[in-house]
Structure 1
Amino acid sequence: MKVDVTTETLPQLLNRYRAATGDVTTYTFNTHCLLTYHSTAIEGSSLTFSQVQALLTESGLLTGLPVLDQLLLLDHYKALNEVLLLASQREPINRAALQRLASILMHQTGGLKHSLLSSFDTSKGELRIDSTMAGRRQLVEAHKLPAALDALLREVNTAVSLLKTPRQLYDLSFKTHFQLLTLHPFGAGNGLMARLLMNYIQQYHQLPLSLIYADSRTAYLKSLDASWQQKTPASIIDFMHRQLIRFLQEEGGNSSRS
């Protein structure tokens, strides 16, 4: 009898997803490709999912496709695997680790950024040194960033070891994603980094890794904006849960992808 996925609870969806994994090695690779594809597509990458799979199994770049998009995809995949390794080993995430991940993520597409007073290198994971605007938002002043990041990551390390239920842990991951985006600590790649940090929290307790679908980009940005305007992460957390449900429903019914 066909399961009515619209009535399933989160624990039921999680159980069905896990039952569908089949060949764990292949399934894990495809899932990591999927995360890399959607996260970079949100930032403007033009490669299709099939092209991402091909890129990550080839020994070099694919011909006829944008080089920068491919380099970002390759670096994101490396950063994703690194952050998941940290989580699997229950390594605490601190500012040094976060900056090292940022340097992996932006290794081939980052570089020097200049401000009025000095410059910083996004390919080395250096924090921004300017106090600028992100859209209509005034960002945290640069000199306050190190302390703010340290406080956020201490909170994550404490909470991730105390919380137990999937709902609590997903809520924490979605809230932390929002908080890192709010701090906007890097000169480039903040959205990618926020989603990697989200996945760190999920992997810490071996939960299925969630994503934001590329075709939901507009709704994603609207939910972020609503949370910033309302000064509460409620809107983005609700959106991210809907994305999680979609992922578990779609992937729970597929043991492989074409």
Structure 2
Amino acid sequence: MNKDLDTQIKEALKAYLASGVEEQVDYHKFYLYSIVTNSTAIEGSAVTEVENQLLFDEGITAKGRSLTEQMMNVDLKDAYLYAFKIATENPTYTPQLLQQLSALVMRRTWSEYSTIAGHFDSSKGEFRLYNVSAGIGGRIYLAYSKVPHAVDNFCEWINEEIAKIDKSDIAACYRLSFEAHFRLVTIHPWVDGNGRTTRLVMNMIQRQLGLVPSIVRKEDKGEYIQSLVDSRENDDSTIAQDMMLRHHISNLKRRVLQYQEGYGLMNDNVNSVGVKLTNTQRTIYKLIQANQSIIHSEMAKALSVTSKTAERATKALRDFGLLGREGSDKTGRWIILK
């Protein structure tokens, strides 16, 4: 477990809430649309956030997108609206509630299955009645006969943990939500929609605990999936927790920077030294001001650029006399030169 991340999430969330970013008109609605778009994108949807906004708000379908992937987004949006509503009521997690959430996720893209063990319907959130694996040659998930008992145990565990957690411990609350996601997706209760439903449950727990919901961005799909695999193979869920926490910190910082730059609210020390910077250089300078231990790969992810681009930007900032460096590339830190 990376304890530095626990400190960073507290600082990032504090800065996010203090920035005023959430005070924008319809911000929470568009944040929800971003959660939905990225979650379905991880499952193969190509619908963009702009296309989803038109679909959700205006009923305008996107050209070149299949009906199935558009309905997948509509279903998930409706499931989130319901989940976030009941999250404010401090719900008790039961197998029936989880099935209800899964049924909402699969409402328009459901399938029925007939197996030796019986018939089940994904539109009703019914648990799978056959065994599944993670792709060809992939890990075999829990035997279907053990799923009901495993879900019962999961619900008992999460209810107990939520009841006793200190809600002022931001890092512990986020880690609990990430742990819940990992445990439930590892059980793999349904034949389809496991990723969307378990991320939904994760975000619902976060809302229940008073947190800003985290987004697993489509750009981070590979690292996200690998962190789940590594956690299972090493029997260490903190691998996935750290990955999720690290990316949530970056997302919060990214949104604050975008808001400040868009509304001209940057308290920009760069201008005071008379240097004209590119947008990339300027944003990376702000990232370093916020976290002087940040490394190039983290800058690259925050800006959706390559590590080489981030390296060129920090070199330029050092050449301009704005930055210094002490220690190695991996364990050192940046020095802000006034």
TM norm structure 1: 0.91
2:215 and 2:209 map into 1 onto residues whose CA distance is: 17
Distance 1:167 1:117 in 2: 42
SS, match of residue 21 in structure 2: coil
Pairwise CA distance, 1:25: 5.6
User: Helix, strand or coil: the match of 2:127?
Assistant: coil
Q: Which residue of 2 aligns with 1:54?
A: 54
Is the CA contact (8 Å cut-off) linking 1:94 and 1:153 kept in structure 2? yes
Alignment-mate amino acid for residue 173 of structure 2: L
1:174 aligned residue: 178
- The residue that corresponds to 1:228 in the other structure is 232
Moved more, 119-128 or 70-79: 119-128
Q: CA deviation at 1:112?
A: 0.7
Higher relative contact order (CA 8 A, sep 6+): 1
Q: Partners of 1:26 and 1:79 in 2: how far apart?
A: 19
Q: What's 2:219 paired with?
A: 215
- After alignment, is 114-123 or 210-219 more displaced? 114-123
1:172-213 residue CA offsets vs partner (Å, 9 max, x unmatched): 111110111110000100001110111111101210000111
Distance in structure 1 (CA, Å) of the matches to 2:43 and 2:241: 20
Secondary structure of residue in 1 paired with 2:123: helix
CA distance in 2, matches of 1:252, 1:161: 32
Q: CA deviation at 1:22?
A: 4.1
User: 2:208 matched to 1:204?
Assistant: yes
How high is the sequence identity, in percent, across the aligned residues? 28
Partner of 2:154: 152
Aligned residue in 2 for 1:115 = 115
Cross-structure match for 2:304: none
State how far apart, in whole Å, the 2-side matches of 1:11 and 1:183 are.
30
Q: Specify the structure having the higher radius of gyration (Cα).
A: 2
Mapped to 1, the partners of 2:111 and 2:22 lie a distance apart of: 41
Shift of 1:86: 1.6
- Give CA deviations for 1:80-108 in whole Å, capped at 9, x if unaligned: 11111121111112111110111110000
Q: Residue 103 of structure 1 aligns to which amino acid in structure 2?
A: A
Letter matched to residue 221 of structure 1: I
1:34 aligns with 34
Question: Displacement, 1:216?
Answer: 0.7
Task: Tell me the amino acid that sits aligned with residue 16 of structure 2.
Answer: Y
Which shows bigger deviation, 20-29 or 101-110? 20-29
Match of residue 133 from structure 2: 133
Q: Secondary structure at the match of 1:9?
A: helix
Letter in 1 for 2:232: W
Distance 1:16 1:167, change over 3 A: same
Cα distance, 1:237–1:22 mapped onto 2, change above 3 Å: closer
What is the root-mean-square deviation of aligned Cα atoms in Å? 1.9
CA change 1:25–1:112 in 2 (3 A) is farther
Among residues 233, 244, 249, which one is paired with 2:253 in the alignment?
249
Correspondence for 1:16? 15
Write the distance in 1 (CA, Å) between the matches of 2:139 and 2:93.
27
Is the 1:37–1:73 contact (alpha carbons within 8 Å) kept by the matching residues of 2?
Answer: yes
- Aligned residue for 2:113, secondary structure, equals strand
Give the superposition deviation at 1:255. 4.3
| In structure 2, distance between residues paired with 1:117 and 1:205 | 39
CA distance in 2, matches of 1:83, 1:89: 10
SS at match of 2:26: helix
Assess if the C-alpha contact under 8 Å between 1:17 and 1:253 holds in 2: no
What TM-score results when the alignment is normalised by the length of structure 2? 0.70
**Helix, strand or coil: the match of 1:138?**
coil
- Please give the alpha-carbon distance, in whole angstroms, between the structure 1 residues aligned to 2:36 and 2:254: 17
Q: Which one-letter code corresponds to 1:142 in the other structure?
A: Y
For the 8 Å contact 1:131–1:141, the answer to whether it is kept is: yes
Length, aligned pairs only: 251
Aligned counterparts of 2:25 and 2:147: Cα–Cα separation in 1: 39
Question: Following TM superposition, by how much is the alpha carbon of 1:223 offset from its aligned partner in structure 2, in angstroms?
Answer: 0.9
